[in-house]
Amino acid sequence: VLILAAAAAFAGCGGADAPHGPGPSPSPSVNTTPGAVVGRFLLRVTPAPSCNMGGSVALPMLAAAAGASPYPGVQALVAGGGDPLEVELMSVAQAVRGGFGTTERGALGDDGTRLWIRAIGSGPLVRSADGRGEVAAGRLAGYVAFGFAAGPEGSLGECDSVDHTFTLRATP
């Protein structure tokens, strides 16, 4: 009886090699809900392939909540000042939409390319590694132009399209 009981008890312990274990242990729940779009981000704007402008331009941005009515809003500005690039977004149902605008001076990207933009961006929010909301695959409809740092608007190309893209990635 003792041997049978011991055998039964041993079998009940299961183990990696046990053919009939106790079932999968519950996995920890993964929070996929994007948090607020606040803090430091890297905005990357890529012209539509049909524009043949090549490459993309990235700028560090600082985002903050901006209003709640009629929809919650987000305002993102170029971090550290400089020529303005302003992003005004509404945030609804884990997605954002709104205007990306520069003045006539454009805004200098981190690789020395100057960006001019007047476009409406939209895209789903996803949860970044640190829990904030970010845009991993956004679309831009409107005007995008590139130029040399001190050159005129569009000296490296300009294009109207509904197929430009952008990302707004959370950064530390």
Partner 1 sequence: LSALLLAVLASALQVRVAPALAPCVLPLTETVGRDAGLRVTAAAAAPDPPGEVDVVIADEGELTRLLEGGRAVLATAVDLGVARAGIAASADDERRRARRGPQMAVAAQIAGSRNAVAARAFLAHLQTARARARLERCFAAATPAVPAAMDAYGRAIVDWWIPQCSLERNGYNDPEQAVGPPDAVNLGGPDRYRGLVSLGQGGYVTVELGEAAIDRNGPDIRVFQTTTAEPVTLYASAAADGPFVLIGLRVPCGQRLQGVFSRYCDFDLREAGLGLARYVKIEDGEIYPCLEGGTLTEGADIDAVQTLNR
Nearer to partner 1, 79 or 141 (CB): 141
Residues 85-104 within binding reach of partner 1 (CB under 8 A): 85-86, 88-90, 98-104
**DSSP structure class, residue 153:** T
Interface residues for partner 1 in 39-78 (CB under 8 A)?
A: 66-67, 70-71, 73, 75, 77
Residue 9's φ and ψ, nearest 5 degrees, are: -65, -40
- Determine the Cα–Cα distance for residues 24 and 5; give it in Å rounded to an integer: 25
CA 3 → CA 6, 7, 19, 75, distances in Å?
A: 5, 6, 21, 72
> Does residue 171 touch partner 1 according to CB under 8 A?
no
Sign of the torsion angle spanned by Cα atoms 155, 166, 143, 107: negative
Region near partner 1 per CB under 8 A, out of 5-13, 40-48, 79-87, 129-137: 79-87
Read off the tokens for 46: 């890529």
**Which residue among 154, 156, 157, 163 contacts partner 1 (CB under 8 A)?**
154
Q: Which of 55, 84, 112, 151 binds partner 1 (CB under 8 A)?
A: 84
In 3D space, the residue among 120, 111, 117, 126 whose CA is nearest the CA of residue 31 turns out to be 126
- Which residues within the stretch 112-151 sit at the binding site for partner 1 (CB under 8 A)? 117-120, 141-143
Q: Which of 40, 79, 156, 160 binds partner 1 (CB under 8 A)?
A: 160
As given in the structure block, the two tokens for residue 3 are 């041997």
**Residues of the shown chain interacting with partner 1 in the complex, contacts defined by CB under 8 A:** 66-67, 70-71, 73, 75, 77, 84-86, 88-90, 98-104, 117-120, 141-143, 154, 160, 162
